[in-house]
Structures are given as structure tokens and as C-alpha cells.
Amino acid sequence: MNFASDNVYGVDQAIMDAMVKANTGTSASYAYDDITTRVESQFNEVFEREVKVFLMTTGTAANSLALSTMAPPFGAIFCHAYSHINADECGAPEFYTGGAKMFGLDGVAGKISPQMIRDSLNGFIRGEHDPKAAAISITQSSELGTVYSLDEIAAFGDLAREKNLKLHMDGARFANALVSLGCSPAEMTWKRGVDALSFGATKNGAMGVEAVVFFDLNLAKDFEYRRMRGGHLLSKNRYLAAQMEAYLTNDLWLNNARHANDMAKRLADGLSSVEGMHLGVEQQANEVFVIMPKAKHDALEKTDAVFHQWLASGSDTAPVGPDEIMIRLVTSFLTTIEDVDGFIALAAG
């Protein structure tokens, strides 16, 4: 049973079948193929308006290239201190923006608030001696598996308009957040002021495809050059497009995310009823953070269950005592009830 991440699992069979189907004959290269054209229409339908969409292979590339359209080299980007863009991308956003400064804010439960950004902006009083405030980036669902409500997203949108900032959403786990809220993709994005979205698929069943989706179409201007220059335009783009087409067909993406979230809920409910264990963060999508006695953690580590210890700063999750350890468990579209119940039984044993 492997709860290390959602990307330890393989590829959804429907997506693999679509790639095999695409693997016949010849096709125009560099995203001029028919499947890519169809995927562009699919995104317009999914978001109920015209969007500009660009496929690429990693979420890091999607985030960094999207942010490069929003922040100049002398710009500031506000995000959570633990956000993937700030903590896990080896400076790629700084690289692609040509040096924009990330302002990592210490929000509770993986989320930041507009007030935190206002407070930060209050320190921008020295003109060009500070970087130019340029963009906000929120992660939906967040790095701690929590989900911004529609009102919370709208408040970021309002702040962005008021301060002339752009609003980016890192949606590596977009589908998990969407089914958690039970709203439409449009409601969770451009209707609340999001300008550009990194739309993830890899963690939820694809082999390796992500998309940058622009709602502010001006930001998409010349984006094909950014993607090419960044080395993220695939010559055989049809295989990326085939993955995305299958992902968005017959609600595969939503069904996969729903399953992953359901498994996470089952895990969270089961583990929080085990004596000595409690959740570090409320479970809202497909990640579960559990605080447990160190002895219990050490015993679980000796089993064949795979998971990661998660270090907390002390203010962002429920407190972790000196004899306690917090672990992260991530569920996926392929996580089984047997694995979930098996892990709960191990934890209770």
C-alpha cells in the first residue's frame, strides 16, 4: 500500500489506450496536430468560454511559464511559503520570470489570505527600491490538501483588480479541489478573477501532461515563444494531446478525482478514530495529514506501507508534540478500499 504521493501510481488505462490509438500513421508536429486542435475546443467547453491553452509535460514548467507572463524580472509574486512554486521548483519561477522575487507567506493549513498580501504590500513604500508587486499565486488544492472556497478565491480576485496584480492558480490537483467544492471549472477560476491556471492531469491519471490555461487572453500573447524558448514544446505533441483528450472525455478526470477524495475521506475518518491519532489538517481533497505518537509511527514504518513524514512549522497545522510525528498520506485514482482499510487496521493494531 503506497500513500507516498498520487504520482507513484501509473497511467489510467483509458489514457494509455488513447495514446496507443494516437500511435498510428503520421501527424503534424509541434502542436499543429488534429488532437491538439480538438483539445483546445474541449477546454473552451470545460470553461464555458474562450480560453487559450498550452500543453506541456510538467507542472513546474506550467507554473513557471505562466508566472513569466505575469511578473517582470523586477516583479514580486505573493504565494504561500510552502507553495510548490516557492519551495519545490528549484527556482524555476525565478528563472523563467528572469528574476521575479517570491514572497512566501506563512498561512495556516496551506492557505494564504488577501489580508496577508495587504500586510505585505504595506511594506512596499520605497518605490523602485522594492520589487514591483505583480502577481498572486494560490494552490488549489493546496500543498496541505486544503481547498480555497469560492468566496476566498473571489477575495483574491478582488484584491488583484484593486492593486493591479495578476492572479495565478496552481491546479496540479485542480480536479480534486473541484469535486471537493462541487462547483464548475468556470466558477472556481475566471468567474472569481483567476487570470491563468496551471491545470494538472498527471497526478490524476495521465502519464505526463499539464496545461497552462489563460483566461486573460492578453497574457497568452507570444506564449508559444515562451514555451518553445523554454524547451517545453514537444515535437510529437499529439501524445500530450491524446492524454488530455482522454482525461477530459466521459468525466474521467472528475471520476478519478472523486475516487481519490473518497479514499482520502475514508482514511481520514478511520485514522482519526484510532486512539492517539488525530488529523493535523482538515481533509478536504486527496491528502491526509495525521499526527500520531512517535512509537506508532516507528511501528508503521516497519510495515510495507509507504508514506512520508511531514514537518510542520508549528503554526500551519495542529501542533505536533515532542513525542509525536505527523505523516502525509496521499490517495489516488487507483487507491483501493482494501489498501485504505488495511492501513487503518495496521494503525489500530
Ligand X SMILES: Cc1ncc(COP(=O)(O)O)c(C=O)c1O
Q: Residue numbers of the site for ligand X (CB under 6 A)? A: 58-60, 63, 84, 139, 143, 170, 172, 202
> Of the candidates 195, 231, 225, which has an alpha carbon nearest to the alpha carbon of residue 71?
195
Taken in order 313, 315, 318, 322, is the CA torsion positive or negative?
Answer: positive
Of 230 and 342, nearer to ligand X (C-beta) is 230
Of 27 and 83, nearer to ligand X (C-beta) is 83
Of 310 and 324, nearer to ligand X (C-beta) is 310
Residue nearest to ligand X (CB): 59
Element (H, E) at 80: strand 75-80
The least CB distance from residue 129 to ligand X, in Å, is 32
The least CB distance from residue 245 to ligand X, in Å, is 19
Q: In angstroms, rounded to a whole number, what is the distance separating the alpha carbons of residues 100 and 98?
A: 6
Element (H, E) at 195: none
The least CB distance from residue 282 to ligand X, in Å, is 18
Of 36 and 142, nearer to ligand X (C-beta) is 142
* SS3 per residue for 148-212: CCHHHHHHHHHHHHHHCCEEEEEECCHHHHHHHHCCCCCCCCHHHCCCEEEEECHHHCCCCCEEE
The least CB distance from residue 141 to ligand X, in Å, is 8
The least CB distance from residue 229 to ligand X, in Å, is 18
The least CB distance from residue 87 to ligand X, in Å, is 10
Of 35 and 144, nearer to ligand X (C-beta) is 144
Of 7 and 44, nearer to ligand X (C-beta) is 7
For the chain, what percentages of helix, strand and coil (3-state, to nearest 5) are there? Answer: 45, 15, 40
Q: Which amino acid is at 178?
A: L
Cis peptide bond prior to 273, omega within 30° of 0: no
